[in-house]
Amino acid sequence: FAINCASESCPKLLNEAFHAETLNEQLEKQAKDFINDPSKNEISKNRIVISKIFQWFTGDFTKNGSLIDFLNQYAETEIAPDADIDYMDYDWSLNEQKTQGQ
């Protein structure tokens, strides 16, 4: 969630440098922010509609359990182990910050 392609569907880029002393906290914050962003993932107890990132890189998220186990580490809503999983369409357009007045 820290390094990405800057497309609209990607996690937001952190607005600060990564530092060795705080890297774990920064990465934890990035994961929580992305997973709980309703424009990127829709999470409820029994159904989730999540970013294609989780489908494309399933192996990275399931090394220590299921995908739902991973998401539950960061999600504000606890997901049931047998929840339905669907994936959002991916928007590859450039995630450009809009300036005030545009």
- The pTM assigned to this predicted structure is 0.87
Q: How far is CA 58 from CA 9, 17, 36, in A?
A: 17, 27, 18
Closest-CA residue to 48 (of 19, 9, 80): 80
pLDDT tens figures, 6-26: 889 999 888 899 999 999 999
What pLDDT, in 10s, does the model give residues 71-84? Answer: 999 999 999 999 99
